[in-house]
Structure 1
């Protein structure tokens, strides 16, 4: 088993990446059902949390069926991050995660997320403040470095372990790369094989198939992998990786009924958590992914996004099952 202090995870655990505007409780519910072993909230702005901004406060919502679940924080001020760790602890997660990897301008240009990769002493100070502010395990997600000339994640891993983090996830790109190009896992493997490193090391980046997940496990020796974009509309990626890792065989793709059941569960949780108006509206971004590759998928999606009536949406989903569309791509 893999342990993050008192959190016991299975061998080669699969983590759901925290994705802004995606990894909310409804999405996490279907991924947990699909086999995710550890999940995180969307990242939460420390400044927003201190101001008691409604959106930031709502992101603190965690539920027992999600456990183990981590709350992920980002910010640029050391003292504020410590205070937010205390607030987040009161929400009852299993761990606190710090985001040092987000590359988007509105985060990095404010000195948060991946920007801390250009100021390692401040990153260490901030991490230490968060560790001291909570009794929960603290983990970190980061990148290889700011750019190709500053791939400093090996040093970062040692220094953050020294101030008390209990697991590290590394995305195999620099901030400058954003999400372009192929993720480079060589440094991730070197961190895992560093004899000084005693904490679990999880790899992230381009894990989009069971074969790749197991190949990277064997090649780089990571304790587990974090999956992000490949899980959007396809929560079965987790069970498929687990089955392939255990047997070397690929599972059959989900049936039409399984796709509709997962989409319906996501929709119902969305209504429950966000309310009928926002729940219907924000679910629209997910239909294309759930029904991708099915014959007639475009017409189903068009009908689903053109209505605001939950009963009609359920009826359309019933029609999809009855039509038994074939997988064409």
Structure 2
């Protein structure tokens, strides 16, 4: 039997305590974890560490939950992110698009008393499938908190950049681009990685990369990184900035050229995407991703209680 099916049979989450004010919301990713003690949408306490799901030993999740409760309080928990994947604690499955908070709440699984895991979201279009885990709480939370219109294009830059089109407050469709991972692969394993020794900065080299990324010949432009250094066409110190601009430019040109985009990102990465979006004729609106996550988790809690 599928683990999530077993989990669903274990009973309600702290059925006698569902009305209590406080709960713990955890954004538990592959390599990092952030936990918040929340009361009516307000952060009472929080913690963050590098104990992602890949760092938890087999059978160790119940112990980690106990340690989180020892740190933040003995109360019910909502877990989001890769903790609900087939590489995490329990496979929580996926809710299909168009997805709402109510649908996600109804599909949660219970791996142990007092803990619920939020499912991911799946989307299939033109024969291509896509999935997300954790980002859905931020996306829908942005709608709940009024941080973005109910009909909007949202972007979550990162290792795997998410582009989500929201319709009437629901996740109607989305696309994932391996932008950040591709940059890391090129830097660490490709021939042009020998040129990518400088820091990435939002200067002329980055802007040149955005321009070239929008042309649609990214593979040829990537090969051109080494000749540009050999022939003195670009300073070697600028290679990393150019490649970053090239990848982000191609990503933004494919999904956001001339569009109004609401960005959920940290200040540094958000600035790069905002610059590329503006260069391609669009407008970037910055959103506090932590506020969006807290709003989404709070609404899910309210839906359950």
If the TM-score is normalised by the length of the shorter chain, which range does it land in?
Answer: under 0.3
Provide the TM-score with structure 2 as the length reference: 0.27
Provide the TM-score with structure 1 as the length reference: 0.26
Q: Which structure shows the higher helix fraction?
A: 1
Greater Cα radius of gyration, structure 1 or 2: 2
Q: Which structure shows the higher strand fraction?
A: 2
